[in-house]
Structure 1
């Protein structure tokens, strides 16, 4: 069996031993029709476009899997027409993205304090990540509202018109990228809708780059009443608009969902689906516990305590520094693209808060609630 896989997908080492696979690992943007011509299975991430041309060039192809929640980069209809099994990994990176969003809030001015003091988060898109973020905010005691026109309002808690969601203290985008009518999300935030953001708003995009009109956002950030903005995703990746980057509070190289835990979960999900589709024995995948957290109970305020927890695992400022340095060093658009991809390819092993353990013997009841809401395990037996 021949398998072509994105080199950024971890946990595939057991494939060769378990199914006698001929595994070829390539950079995601280098996976072309030529590379998959003799492949039985294709495992990718979001940077590989699986269109009709690529699909039709692979007569042996029986399975395509993407280790991502989204699948707008794949022609699913063509796969169905060819009888090729498909799988993605919905929710695998949800915790990673949520922790990225919370870290961005915690590292930007006093936004976290404002939210705990009665502020509101506006969520655009109520899929896997939007739903889990809402539940996390409920646990933290932070108010939120959500807009998703593709879902019935009766089935969405805290549903609100987009204009109301955009009036929140923090606006975070978690919609799929689609041009489908009647509710296309491409350039959902454009010159008109960006005007709804006030100077006291923090905008975070960790969904798809084209959900925000990057040129319009650059202009909005030059205004006297400009909001603050954090972008993990960009139009025209892997070559981000460096003039826009200069105007952001934080920017990163499409790594919000790149936690080690999320990547391994996505791999396990894909391998299970591939084994079922191809009638093979699923390979054994390993996982390891994250190091225990070391958070003092001395933070009496909720914002300070949560900020201390988040910083134990992740700081957006570090990825912002790496991106700015890489873009500054690159001399051409092509070299910027290579540098952007290199940041993703060589991304450090980042562990999640969720599933981590902490000694909570000195925590008060509020701290225990906050810890639990973030998915952290209290080990003293009292939580």
Structure 2
């Protein structure tokens, strides 16, 4: 594929479009990363005259994402994308499917910017074959996810859901002051973080500020990059020493099923397990068992091995569990940050600069 833009609105060399014509761009937003936010971010990057804006509104999150042809976690349809993308050279989206069929039908497309941490809704091999750059937005929800982790952790440790349920039922239950019914404090506790990346690092800083001792298990972490006061240890040491364990690792072949029955048993009696990372890291059946027998004090979960969580899943009735439906990253700041990040990639493309976060870098070598 020729080198991208050579002038203010130039586009790749050899393209028949004149340098002064606006670039056709499709904004395929949804009800989280709104098209309005994408328009604002795009115009802030390059000015409104640079782009011929088209909009497609996808039904997520009101309609769950799923598999579309060969790609996963996508919203909308191939037919809608093919129609909306006709003639467009750039697409900014969060959930739209980029499949082999879409790519074959839209030869003008050169940049597909996905406003999420991983572009699972794009067929990267096919995009590379068709000369389309696919970019993504790592870290867009790091702040929101770190805050949600702390919110769930505190809710589980201080039994906030149980207290609220009692109040809504019309009771004023002073029995929560009974010693066996009281909660746990972060201050003075040892909290183990499995994963010390962007989210884990933010959680570590907050926990240290609250007076916790923080351990981190991450074979790829740079000790110098961890917050001052956090200590890098092995996973077995972390599990044996921590009264709270929070998962922040990426899901890979190496980490799939990282925390199973043996690892839960290695945690101290009366400890707490938190997962706002990926469902595949954890054996949820073993977790339900550990809660049922009272080995764990509580669990706080935003992600699951199967989503949506089945109505008869044992975690729905397990004691002392705080559940949320995979919404740790759901903040208005995340949506605005996501729009800004993909608009910045469009700006780089327009100026002929390399992308900052390219998911298929082989396509750059072919440019």
TM-score above 0.5: yes
Residue pairs, 1:315-354, within 5 angstroms: none
* Aligned equivalent of 2:140, options 92, 99, 109: 92
Q: Structure 1 175/161 Cα, relative in aligned 2: closer, same or farther at 3 Å? A: same
Residue pairs, 1:1-383, within 5 angstroms: 1=24, 2-10=26-34, 11-14=37-40, 18=48, 19-28=51-60, 29=65, 30-37=75-82, 39=85, 40=88, 41-45=90-94, 58-71=106-119, 76=124, 78-110=126-158, 114-116=185-187, 118-151=188-221, 156=226, 158-167=231-240, 168-179=242-253, 184-240=254-310, 242-247=313-318, 249-279=321-351
**3-state SS in 1 of match to 2:109:** coil
Point out where structure 1 has 5 or more consecutive residues left out of the alignment. Answer: 281-383
Deviations 1:182-216 (A, max 9, x none): xx122211222222233422111111121212233
Q: Structure 1 235/140 Cα, relative in aligned 2: closer, same or farther at 3 Å? A: same
**Matches of 1:141 and 1:245 in 2, distance apart?**
32
**3-state SS in 2 of match to 1:122:** strand
Q: TM-score, normalised by structure 2?
A: 0.64
Point out where structure 2 has 5 or more consecutive residues left out of the alignment. Answer: 1-23, 66-74, 160-182, 353-367
Contact in 2 for aligned 1:198/1:227 (Cα 8 Å): no
Give 1:42 shift: 4.3
Q: Structure 1 174/49 Cα, relative in aligned 2: closer, same or farther at 3 Å? A: farther
Give 1:77 shift: 5.3
**3-state SS in 1 of match to 2:191:** strand
Give 1:110 shift: 4.3
CA RMSD of aligned residues (A): 3.2
**Structure (1 or 2) with the greater strand fraction:** 2
**3-state SS in 1 of match to 2:341:** helix
Contact in 2 for aligned 1:67/1:267 (Cα 8 Å): yes
